[in-house]
Amino acid sequence: MTKAGADAAPPRSTGLRSILGGAVWSLCEAARSNPRWLALSLLASLLLALVPAGQVRAVAWLVGTADDGVRAAALPLLVLTALVGAGLVVGSAENLVGQRASVRLMHGMNDRLARTAAAMDARQITDPRTHALLEGSRESTFLLSRGPGGVINAVCSLVAAVALGAAIWPFSPLAAGLVVLALVPNLVNFAWAAGMQDARFEEGATHGARFRYLLDQLVGARTATELATLGTATKVADDAGAAHARFSRINDQIYAALLRGDIIGGAVTAVLLGGALLAVLAEGGGAAGLSAGVLGVIAGLQSTRSAGYALGDVISLAPRIARFRELEEIPTGAPQQDVVAEVRRLEATSLSVTYPGQERPALQDATLHATAGETIALVGINGAGKTTLVSALLGVIDLDHGTVEIDGSDASALTAAQRFSRFSLVTQEFGRYEMTVRDAVALGSTRTDIADEEIWAALDAARAGELVRRLPGGLDTMLGPQFDGVGLSGGQWQRIALARIHLRGAGIRVLDEPTSAIDAEAEQEVFAQLRETAAGHITVVVSHRAWTLRGMDRIHLLDEGRIVESGDFEELAAPGTRFSEIFAQQLS
Ligand SMILES: Nc1ncnc2c1ncn2[C@@H]1O[C@H](COP(=O)(O)OP(=O)(O)OP(=O)(O)O)[C@@H](O)[C@H]1O
């Protein structure tokens, strides 16, 4: 049975239909992934399920022949030995087949998960609900891959219990009935346990996730170094300890409840099986009936417990299966379009955005325009609304009202892929892809036939060419520490990200703080290069540095979500403007 709070994300209890639906889905997935192994596993499990009943019959046969000498006992002895041996061999084979099938199924599910995520557009992937589904499914594939095994176990344990009942029936119909009846407390107990764990899961998972997050901060290279320098890592360790204590407390409560359930279920089962033993004694019909009956009742105990466990597994998997299926059913956007290199005009009119749960809009009536060859800047203090305006231009957040037009057409009429194909974007949280330099830069373009010359040109444009030429493997050099690659500074990573947008070459370039980690000299070079290549593009830059704004065609100053001043650098830097007030230090 799934351990309480052992993985993240909140599955919820579901009805019988969803449990049966989940079980059928599991089997269909296994059949799709590897039909031969599923058939083998099913066959082996069914054989195993029939072995205890066979043993009961063989024991009765053996004991029945005991008075007739060794010769008469030879055949039943042989059959019994064969059954025990077959049980061991088939049991071990079934285990291996099951494990192999489950690894393969997990691989298939992980692959589908990766492809589902890859097929989503930026708007879908930033949706919190979709994101939670992706995270939860990523953590569930291991458990989901064990689903078919759980369903087969549940069915075969039921078969084993019923077969045992049938094997005992000739000696004692009452004992047979009681063995089958013993399924009831076990099934009820484990079904209840699965539901109870489900109900408490969310609470426990939240504390577990908090613990893992804090632990990540303590061991992750960047945060661990910062905390060690600050000497405050123990504060985070204390918080992690407290989160884990809360997680453990909930787990303790769950286990205490499970124990109570097990004791009650076990006691009822013991009474029923005790009754079955008595019935065997009373109705058993001689030594053969007695020994076979006793063996059958004891084996029945094992089978009814296994059936309960396996059913609990099937029940607790149902919500995770539902979540995985929900994710796969989300319609993904049209395939990625080829990048559109020519955009003549971008026009935003009266854009307003209010984030969910907020009363004040983060952006109010923002209007701007730019034509090909122009570079415009968005500036303002932290939280002024610059990134929100960028997101509104890209179409990744909902607008309260307003329109974005690209080349005179309403951008909201484009599919997400069509819209993104007109943009190159470097965000504040650009990716540090631990790949070869070639692959990390090539991510900028959807094309697959990118020549090395194009990669070098992009690297040179981002002022990263020299850096890469000095690396031992050139474009083949692995980046980042995780896979024995070279370590890069923050600014060097940022230049690789800039190389991606140079390679992409889309009509509208959006750079949100593109040089925040780059030194002043290199920053001048990066901006010089942006100006050199500005002719064919519309460039929108978010910046905090006054002097980078000098060459801009227009600067829009945002304050509390509104564009409060617009103009070129000289106009805005004139005394008395809000711009000169904000940038007073940098302008002096
Ligand atoms: N996802 C979000 N949910 C709710 N509020 C948000 C969200 N993102 C931003 N905000 C709020 O919207 C406002 C504008 O944020 P935005 O990120 O656009 O500012 P910014 O000018 O880009 O700031 P910075 O210079 O710090 O990057 C802020 O008050 C911020 O708290």
C-alpha pair distances (Å), 524 with each of 426, 547, 587: 17, 9, 17
In angstroms, the CA 469 to CA 461 distance is 14
Separation of CA 541 and ligand 1 centre (Å):
17
Residue 284 tokens, joined: 């058993």
Pocket test for ligand 1, best of 355, 510, 560, 564 (most atoms within 8 A of CB): 355
Separation of CA 425 and ligand 1 centre (Å):
18
- Residue ID of nearest Cα to ligand 1 atom 16: 385
Instruction: Give 279 or 429, the one with higher predicted confidence.
Output: 279
Separation of CA 355 and ligand 1 centre (Å):
9
Are 140 and 97 in the same domain?
A: yes
Alpha carbons within 13 angstroms on the beta-carbon side of residue 488 total 27
Q: 460, 517 in Cβ contact below 8 A?
A: no
State the pLDDT at residue 6. Answer: 39
Instruction: Give 5 or 492, the one with higher predicted confidence.
Output: 492
* Domain of 569, in residue numbers: 335-422+506-588
In angstroms, the CA 71 to CA 221 distance is 75
In angstroms, the CA 531 to CA 525 distance is 10
Residue at 7 is within a domain: no
In which residue are the tokens 């013991």 written?
270
Among 305, 329, 353, the domain boundary falls at 329
Atom of ligand 1 minimally distant from the CA of 390: 18
Spell out the residues 6+ positions from residue 33 whose beta carbon is closer than 8 angstroms to its own: 101, 104, 105, 108
State the pLDDT at residue 4. Answer: 36
Residue range 195-219, pLDDT digits in tens = 787 777 777 878 888 999 999 999 9
Atom of ligand 1 minimally distant from the CA of 357: 4
- Residue ID of nearest Cα to ligand 1 atom 3: 355
- Residue ID of nearest Cα to ligand 1 atom 7: 355
Spell out the residues 6+ positions from residue 25 whose beta carbon is closer than 8 angstroms to its own: 147, 321, 325
Are 246 and 269 in the same domain?
A: yes
Are 402 and 473 in the same domain?
A: no
State the pLDDT at residue 8. Answer: 42
Residue at 11 is within a domain: no
In angstroms, the CA 477 to CA 463 distance is 17
Among 451, 477, 505, the domain boundary falls at 505
Residue at 1 is within a domain: no
Residue at 109 is within a domain: yes
Atom of ligand 1 minimally distant from the CA of 380: 21
Percent of the chain scored above 70 by pLDDT?
Answer: 94
In angstroms, the CA 514 to CA 420 distance is 19
Are 417 and 440 in the same domain?
A: no
Q: State how many domains the chain has.
A: 3
- Residue ID of nearest Cα to ligand 1 atom 25: 382
- Residue ID of nearest Cα to ligand 1 atom 29: 383
> What sign has the CA pseudo-torsion 298, 302, 303, 308?
positive
Are 269 and 395 in the same domain?
A: no
pLDDT band of residue 10 (cuts 50, 70, 90) is: very low
Are 263 and 119 in the same domain?
A: yes
- Indicate which CATH number applies to the domain containing 414: 3.40.50.300
Atom of ligand 1 minimally distant from the CA of 391: 18
In angstroms, the CA 366 to CA 301 distance is 72
Residue at 315 is within a domain: yes
Instruction: Give 33 or 515, the one with higher predicted confidence.
Output: 33
- Residue ID of nearest Cα to ligand 1 atom 19: 383
Separation of CA 576 and ligand 1 centre (Å):
27
Separation of CA 388 and ligand 1 centre (Å):
6
Pocket test for ligand 1, best of 364, 388, 511, 543 (most atoms within 8 A of CB): 388
Instruction: Give 325 or 524, the one with higher predicted confidence.
Output: 325
End-to-end CA separation in angstroms for the chain: 68
Residue range 486-543, pLDDT digits in tens = 888 888 888 899 899 999 989 999 988 766 656 666 666 677 777 777 788 999 988 8
Separation of CA 392 and ligand 1 centre (Å):
12
Are 391 and 284 in the same domain?
A: no
Separation of CA 227 and ligand 1 centre (Å):
26
Phi, psi of 179 (to 5 degrees): -60, -45
Residue at 4 is within a domain: no
> What sign has the CA pseudo-torsion 319, 325, 331, 332?
positive
Are 208 and 322 in the same domain?
A: yes
Give residues (CB < 6 A) around ligand 1. 355, 358, 362, 380, 382-388
Give the start-end residues of each E strand in 357-496.
363-371, 375-379, 401-406, 409-410, 423-426
Pocket test for ligand 1, best of 358, 387, 428 (most atoms within 8 A of CB): 387
Pocket test for ligand 1, best of 129, 353, 386, 564 (most atoms within 8 A of CB): 386
Are 178 and 271 in the same domain?
A: yes
Among 301, 329, 357, the domain boundary falls at 329
Residue at 210 is within a domain: yes
Q: Is the pLDDT of residue 222 over 90?
A: no
- Residue ID of nearest Cα to ligand 1 atom 30: 383
Residue range 364-395, pLDDT digits in tens = 999 999 999 999 999 988 889 999 999 999 99
Residue range 260-310, pLDDT digits in tens = 988 998 899 889 988 988 988 887 667 878 888 888 888 888 888 888 888
Residue at 5 is within a domain: no
Amino acid at 56: V
In angstroms, the CA 304 to CA 188 distance is 11
Are 167 and 259 in the same domain?
A: yes
Are 141 and 73 in the same domain?
A: yes
Are 87 and 137 in the same domain?
A: yes
Residue range 548-580, pLDDT digits in tens = 788 889 999 999 999 999 999 888 888 888 888
